[in-house]
Amino acid sequence: MKKKILLEKAGEHFLKRQYDESKKFFESVLRIEPTNKEAILGTILCDMINEDEEEAIALFDYYIVLKEEAVNNPEDQILAMIQELDYDQEELSKLFESDTLPQMEGITYKDFLSIVESRGSFKEAFEDIMFSTKVIITKKSDFFDFIDRLIENGFTDIVYSYLEDATKLYPTDQKLQEFFERLTKV
């Protein structure tokens, strides 16, 4: 009975975007039952919040739907989706890493954004580095932000190149398709 109440409270806090509180309740369940799949999933989703809040919320919402529809082992389905997302992020990271260039010949996306801030313009910052420095992107959300900014600043040819490579790996990714649609309107 106590587990059920703890899980309910964890879910309530998650839905209120009180992720630290939610995680505490999920962890309390894991102390009682270390193999509880719902608590394991909840803890993972709370951890995902820092990387991609939108994705974590979407997965939690989908988990609730699966539970309400009485789907067998909904936790396993969501955990498999998370594993696939992790794999996709790794592949996307590899897409931007060149085997011929040493790691130090690039800057992280975070560092690039600092350059943008200091220049006051994404376009100026990108033009300054585009031929000499590689921007290393390791998060899917950063990739999408980068593409979005490239489109906004008129770098459509470069965007096409990135998107063509990315869609080879993820042909059904909805966000990539949305970027292609935006490009046709530019």
pLDDT in tens, 11-43: 999 999 999 999 999 999 999 999 999 999 899
Evaluate if pTM is beyond 0.75.
no
The DSSP H or E segment spanning 144 is: helix 140-152
- Residues 59-72: b if buried by 16+ CB within 10 A, e if exposed: bbeebeebeeeeee
Nearest to 179 by CA among 166, 33, 72, 168: 166
DSSP for 80-108, written as a single string: HHHHHHHHHHHHHHHHT--TTS-GGGEEE
Cα-based torsion angle of the residue sequence 63, 79, 59, 74 in order, rounded to the nearest 10 degrees: -10
Query: pLDDT tens across 51-99, in order?
Result: 778 888 888 888 888 888 888 888 888 888 878 776 656 666 666 554 4
Q: Please give the Cα distance from 30 to 8 (Å, whole number).
A: 14
Find all residues with CB under 8 Å of 166, minimum gap 6, and list them: 92, 95, 143, 173, 176
